[in-house]
Amino acid sequence: MNVSRQTIFAVSFGLLFAAAVPGAAGYLTGRLEAVRAAERDLRILEADLLPRTDLSDHTTGSAPVCRIPPRPRHTGRS
């Protein structure tokens, strides 16, 4: 049976491709699911740590307002 090198290469590449693509897809799907689970757990922990009254402030992304009065300016003259 005389098979050319090109045919051997094509069949080998096809077998490698058939094994690598589903393996990579499964790996990436598993990693994505792990990231989603970690994000879900983090949101649950953050919700437990934040007081219920401040939860609405943090979800909008607004920064807390600083109510410190400004200091008087020093003009440099005595």
User: The whole model's pTM is what?
Assistant: 0.48
Q: How would you classify residue 14: left for phi > 0, otherwise alpha for psi between -120 and 50, otherwise beta?
A: alpha
User: Which residues of the chain register pLDDT less than 50?
Assistant: 55
pLDDT for 73 equals: 74
- Tell me the two tokens of residue 28: 């990436």
Neighbours of 50 (CB within 10 A): 14
pLDDT for 78 equals: 56
**Which residue ranges make up each domain of the chain?**
7-53
* Residue from 19, 14, 18 nearest 6 by CA: 14
pLDDT for 64 equals: 67
Q: Which residues contact 8 (CB under 8 A, 6 or more apart)?
A: none
pLDDT for 62 equals: 63
Q: Which residues contact 64 (CB under 8 A, 6 or more apart)?
A: 57
pLDDT for 77 equals: 65
